[in-house]
Amino acid sequence: MLTQVTNDSKGYLHGYSQAEQQRLYDQAKFLSPYVYDQIDLDGVSNLLEVGCGVGAQTAILIERYPGLKITAVDYEPKQVYKANRFLESDIKVGRVRVELADATALPYPDRYFESAFLCWVLEHVQDPKLVMSEVARVLVPGGRVIMTEVLNTPLTLYPRNSAVENYWQLYNEQQHRLGGDPIVGAKLGNLSNAVGLEVVRTRLLKYFMDGTSSVEDRRSFYTYWENLFLSAAPQLIAAKNISARDVEAMVEGFKAMKENAESLFFLVAMQVTAQKKIL
């Protein structure tokens, strides 16, 4: 049976329910090995995090890089409120400040931050170039921005699972309808060039599951993706792109993959590090 979720997304694919806010914390923890495996922020003390949401990535950054002081911004008041509560102890000691701000018009002077961090943000904005232009503006010359973004196609499943595959296609189409971009990860290099940032590193983040993994790891992996897919269900149902039965079929599809030791899942994301040119 499906849980009723209020569609309060205001154009954001996943919405701002309490369940979704908790999912973001779970997501940050689950994806941490993928996102942070090769990030180097040693020596950086003044970092801007754009699109901090509930503060899930902020907490990981603070834990991994003790020298950091982070200014974390988001445009949604519900997320900023949640992040301020979640990060209260770090805010009190001056390691973090969380502020309501529009990423297309950041309220900071030129050359203010040593580095910047964006994670799963540009997929949701209508003008990623403008956001990147603002990030470049507030960076010091030589400052670096680390961008981790989705590249949601193609999704490879074995055995073929039409319920999951069709749902994923509709998920990404809805992202487009809302003004986002589910393949923005592939465009990070071009976006960087367009705003005067020089790409210094590009890498693929590979989400892969096959029969070599343990039963526990397989179930944990598929549960993460099932919950991600479910987070868009209220939007998709409200837009009349799917029915509750389609959602149930997708859930059954993930159940089958969890139970099949030979199931295979492959998807990628992109991570680009770019540097502001020193004139």
Q: What is the pLDDT of residue 11?
A: 65
- The pTM of the full predicted model, rounded to 2 decimals, is 0.94
DSSP, collapsed to helix, strand or coil, labels residue 152 as strand
Task: Cite the beta strand spans of the chain per DSSP E.
Answer: 46-50, 69-74, 96-100, 113-119, 139-158, 197-209, 264-276
- Give the integer Cα–Cα distance in Å for 143 and 111: 9
Q: What is the pLDDT of residue 96?
A: 98
Domains of the chain: 18-276 (3.40.50.150)
Taking only the tens place, the pLDDT of each residue in 86-124 is 999 999 999 999 999 999 999 999 999 999 999 999 999
CB atoms near residue 31 (< 10 Å)? 20
Q: What is the pLDDT of residue 108?
A: 98
- Give the integer Cα–Cα distance in Å for 249 and 158: 17
Q: What is the pLDDT of residue 279?
A: 76
CB 271 within 8 A of CB 205: yes
Residues of the chain with pLDDT under 70: 1-11
Q: What is the pLDDT of residue 217?
A: 97
Q: What is the pLDDT of residue 5?
A: 28
